[in-house]
Amino acid sequence: MTNPTIADLVISGATVVTDAASFDAAVAIKDGRILAIGEERALPSARETFDATGLHLLPGAIDVHVHFREPGYTHKEDWQTGTAAAAMGGVTTVFEMPNVDPPTATPEGLALKQEAAKKAHVDYGLYGLLAEDNIDQLEALIEGGVAGFKCFMGNTFGNLPSPSTGAMLEGFEIVAQHGLRIALHAETASIMARREKRLQAAGRTDPLAHLASRPAVVAVEAVSRAAILAEWTGARIHILHISSADELRPLREAKLRGVDITGETCPHYLLFDEQAYADHRSVIRVNPPVRERHHQDGLWQGLYDGTIDMIATDHAPHTPAEKLRNDIWTVDCGFPGVETQMPLMLSQVHAGRLSLSDYVRLTSTKPAKAFGLYPAKGALLPGSDADITLVDLNREDTIAAAHFQSRSKITPFEGMKVTGMPIHTLVRGRFIMKDRQIVGESKGWGRSVHRIQRMPPPQPKNSDQTLAAVTRVSGRSR
């Protein structure tokens, strides 16, 4: 019989950082969870100790927006390489998107994704697809273990058609009854299709044509429409990759009306502006596009005032050949990000644009709360999962894609100097990355977070109409 007073591991010497404070303390871990935090002499004895003197101990980052491409596109990425990249980037939980082949739109597609995820180094949630033709599959996907849903209101990799507003409403009605959050690629497809067709007819193939085809109004309209549907049904929604200052207005107004709506932005929108199209050409192509400088300023303000809830990455790996093309319309959109987010944003902490507690709030606490994982994750509390990242705030490095764990070896951040690096990453008390090296036996350690999610259904404002509609759609009796 084991001694319940003996910890498995005590990490000492670090400065512990939460979303509210920083303080010197040791952390005791047992059975994958935090046992106690306090002065080392007051903690129980441990089978192993780890000296983290000079480092800061943060709750591991939670990235609610990654694409690992498996099944179907494993020449770009797979679950082993993607989650190794996450661990190297100090990320301990990821939420992975459904635009794979086949899409995660049916229980069968979900089962393929779950099998692929058995290689994961870090914990994960899986999004199911909410599309025009799979409304009758949503209940089965929930029963199968999805952690949320993704709805593509605008076109993206995989050429999944955008659902009609009618299908979105029905999907929102069904998912609302289960409380899961619906993540939205909030761009209006019809506006973009017309703009792109006109630009192509005019012979535009340059990188800036991509920006011209997706003006900020496509996001303003989509966020506004999605918020109205969420308000009507009581669905929880999340706006992905916010790129413009303009879409913050409908986001802010929806929050004031009581809509359960959250939003994220990404490092590339915070750190790049229109100059990136000259500097990085086709490599910078991403959906939504990197925009003009005033949008960047607005996004930072949105982080400061709480309109934007979190930072994610939209980790979207491709090969160099798929990114380096002269015709911008043939360039695959996106680039890897899960490995670089923490160094990039810690550099902003170093520059004084964020506090370290702000960073924890934006990359750990708020994502955990939004997706029903707090305080099991996103917290440094007794009983929380021991998901920990130890960072050296003074370590300098240069981003180099050739050294990525990700299979994708191309990034617009190539050559950027950073200050602040994750040095060690633990998931549920186990070292996954140690001394900037992936721990080999950690492959397969990751597990799905849907079992620990707590997302009770909210009460919709139009509950009678909504429940009646759900009953008709699903065929269930009241």
Tens of pLDDT along 396-424? 999 999 999 999 999 999 999 999 999 99
Residue found under tokens 């999962």: 385
pLDDT, tens digit, 9 for 90 and up, residues 348-378 = 999 999 999 999 999 999 999 999 999 999 9
Q: Calculate mean pLDDT across residues 37-58.
A: 97
User: Do residues 473 and 174 lie in contact, with contact meaning Cβ atoms separated by under 8 Å?
Assistant: yes
Rounded alpha-carbon distances, angstroms, from residue 274 to 196, 287, 300: 19, 14, 16
Q: Cβ neighbours of residue 166 under 8 Å, at least 6 residues apart?
A: none
Q: Name which of 72, 79, 62, 74 is nearest 115 in CA terms.
A: 79
DSSP 258-317: T--EEEEE-HHHHH--TTHHHHSGGGG--SSPP--HHHHHHHHHHHHHTSS-EE---B--
Q: β-strand 26-30 against 33-38: which pairing, if any? A: antiparallel
Query: Which residues, including other chains, have CB under 8 Å from residue 133's CB and lie 6 or more apart?
Result: none
Q: How far apart are CA 402 and CA 69, in angstroms?
A: 20
How many CB atoms are located within 10 Å of the residue 376 CB? Answer: 18
**Omega of the bond leading into 336 within 30 degrees of 0 (cis):** no
Residue 472: pLDDT over 70:
no
With DSSP H G I counted as helix, E B as strand and the rest as coil, what are the percentages for the chain, rounded to 5? 35, 20, 40
d(CA 9, CA 473): 51
Per-residue pLDDT tens for 438-449? Answer: 998 999 999 999
Q: In the prediction, which pLDDT does 463 show?
A: 47
DSSP of 207-263: HHHHHHHS-THHHHHHHHHHHHHHHHHT-EEEE-S---STTHHHHHHHHHTT--EEE
Q: Please, which residues bridge with residue 463 across strands?
A: none
Token digits of residue 475: 């065929």
pLDDT at 469 over 60: no
Domain ranges of the chain: 57-374+385-429+446-452
Q: Is 174 helix (H, G, I), strand (E, B) or coil?
A: helix
DSSP code for 88? H
Half-sphere exposure of 435 (CA within 13 A, CB side): 3
Position 458 scores a pLDDT of 82
Given a cut of 70, whether residue 468 has pLDDT beyond it is no
pTM attached to this predicted model = 0.95
Tokens of residue 153, six digits: 């209101």
Which H helix or E strand runs over 363?
A: none
Confidence (pLDDT) at 253: 98
What are the tokens at 103?
Answer: 């899409």
Q: Residue 164 gets which letter from DSSP?
A: P
Yes or no: say if 222 and 243 are a contact pair by the CB < 8 Å rule: no
Q: Does the pLDDT value for residue 261 go beyond 60? A: yes
Question: How many whole angstroms separate alpha carbon 45 and alpha carbon 116?
Answer: 39
In the block, residue with structure tokens 């009770």: 456
Q: For residue 51, which phi and psi values (nearest 5 degrees)?
A: -90, 115
Mean pLDDT, the chain, integer: 95
Taking 90 as the threshold, does the pLDDT of residue 97 lie above it? yes
pLDDT digits (tens, 9 = 90+) for 285-335: 999 999 999 999 999 999 999 999 999 999 999 999 999 999 999 999 999
Instruction: Let me know if domain 57-374+385-429+446-452 sits in CATH 3.20.20.140.
Output: yes
What tens digit of pLDDT does each residue of 123-164 get?
999 999 999 999 999 999 999 999 999 999 987 765 678 999
In the chain the first and final C-alpha atoms are separated, in Å, by 51
Work out the percent of the chain whose per-residue pLDDT is above 70: 95
Q: At what angle do helices 293-305 and 248-256 cross, to 10 degrees?
A: 20
Is the peptide bond between 456 and the residue preceding it cis, with omega within 30 degrees of 0?
Answer: no
